[in-house]
Amino acid sequence: MTDEIEATGEALARSLAEVREAEPLVQQLTNEVTKNDLANVTLSWGALPVMADAPGEAPEMAELAGAILLNTGRMTESNVDALHAAGKAANGLDVPVVLDPVGAGTTPTRKEVHTSLLEEVEFDVINGNYGEITHLAGEEADVKGVESVGEYEEVTGSARALAETTGAVVVASGVEDVVAGSDRVYRVRAGDEMLSKVVGTGCMLGATLAAFSGGLEDGLSAALHGTLAYGLAGEHATDLEYNGPASYSVNLLDSIAGFTPGVAEELDPTDRIERVT
């Protein structure tokens, strides 16, 4: 691992190119609300999506994958079984595993599912909104359905605490994103308020983090550059023709597809990332 992660346009371009060259197979177990968007986001970063989520086949596919995403938005018994089985199979072969703990803390069922997943599966990345991350860190949090509500002034500390207890890189998404490894924490300022007006943009960040984890060697660089690239794509999407949130969501997909290494090279995103600890 390099001492400090570069946040230049050139460094971001190298990461984007590495994902495209590796073209990792990214298996995603996710909710029905966002499945199609996640598959397209994955393809647009240059990775290959496969949404294999049946309990019998999911662990078989995980053994073939370059990375897997476990999004807990769908709480059916068979999906929960598949999440466990795929996560364990991936751990057995050192395939990176990303957890998106959708709605963590809201119901007894979700509390139990997240507790058992964290006990039984080792995660490389955990990405959730401020409320979900704060809840998983063992602190008081207010999650309404799948939305983070309330104030989270201590989210940097919560993300770091969760990174320390789980060994995962933790990404807490919100107005600014926090990317926490065990020994350092960054804040990423990229994105646009429109990202909060479309359902599933946090889930799409999860797909992005899985694609970058499958393509890059270093997990913290993958999380930091994936979060930065996604936020910048979300900003650029506001330059495209806008007719309301639905057109923004299409523009977001187009913006990700157009975010090539050549585009990244021309940017100077150094002031978007601040190391805070």
173 assigned binding-site residue? yes
Query: Between vectors from CA 174 to CA 173 and to CA 176, what angle results, nearest 5°?
Result: 95
Q: Examine residue 201 and tell whether it contacts ligand ATP (CB under 6 A).
A: yes
Among 45, 152, 212, 230, binds ligand ATP (CB under 6 A): 230
Residue 149: strand, helix, or coil: strand
Cα 51 to Cα 229: distance, rounded to the nearest angstrom: 23
Comparing C-alpha atoms, which of 12, 38, 77 is closest to residue 202? 38
Q: Which is nearer to ligand Cc1ncsc1CCO, 68 or 216 (CB)?
A: 68
**Contacts to Mg ion by CB under 5 A:** 202
Q: Is 226 in the site for ligand Cc1ncsc1CCO (CB under 6 A)?
A: no
CA gyration radius, the chain: 17
Select the binding partner of residue 193 from ligand Cc1ncsc1CCO, ligand ATP, Mg ion, none (C-beta < 5 to 8 A, by kind). Answer: ligand ATP
CB distance 272 to 231 below 8 Å: yes
CB of 199 to ligand Cc1ncsc1CCO, least distance (A): 5
1 is in an annotated binding site: no
List, in sequence order, the alpha helices (H) in the chain. Answer: 9-22, 35-44, 58-62, 77-92, 108-120, 130-136, 155-166, 201-215, 219-236, 245-257, 261-265
Per-residue burial over 103-123, b = 16 or more CB atoms within 10 Å of its CB, e = otherwise: bbbbeeebeebbeebbeebeb
CA distance 79 to 74: 7
Establish whether 51 is an annotated binding residue: yes
Q: Is 34 in the site for ligand Cc1ncsc1CCO (CB under 6 A)?
A: yes
**245: its two tokens:** 């949130």
Spell out, one character per residue from 163 to 182, where the chain touches ligand ATP: x when CB under 6 A holds, - when not: ----------xxx-x-----
Q: Return the residue of 66, 96, 101, 200 that touches ligand Cc1ncsc1CCO, per CB under 6 A.
A: 200
From the number of C-beta atoms within 10 Å of its C-beta (0-12, 13-18, 19+), residue 218 rates as middle
Query: Is 31 one of the binding residues for ligand Cc1ncsc1CCO (CB under 6 A)?
Result: yes
Q: Which is nearer to ligand Cc1ncsc1CCO, 31 or 255 (CB)?
A: 31
Residue choice 5, 38, 80, 146 for contact with ligand Cc1ncsc1CCO (CB under 6 A): 146
* 221 marked among binding-site residues: no
Pick one of 33, 54, 198, 250: the residue that binds ligand Cc1ncsc1CCO (CB under 6 A).
33
Query: Binding to ligand Cc1ncsc1CCO by residue 102, rule CB under 6 A?
Result: yes
Tell me the residue nearest to ligand ATP as measured from the CB.
202
Among 86, 203, 256, 264, binds ligand ATP (CB under 6 A): 203
Does 29 participate in binding ligand ATP (rule CB under 6 A)? no
Q: Give dist(CA 219, CA 125) in Å, integer.
A: 8
* C-alpha to C-alpha distance for 113 and 171, rounded to whole angstroms: 20
**Which residues participate in the annotated binding site for substrate?**
51, 200
**Which residues participate in the annotated binding site for ATP?**
127, 173
Tell me which residues touch ligand ATP (CB under 6 A).
129, 146-148, 173-175, 177, 191-193, 195-196, 199-203, 205, 230-231
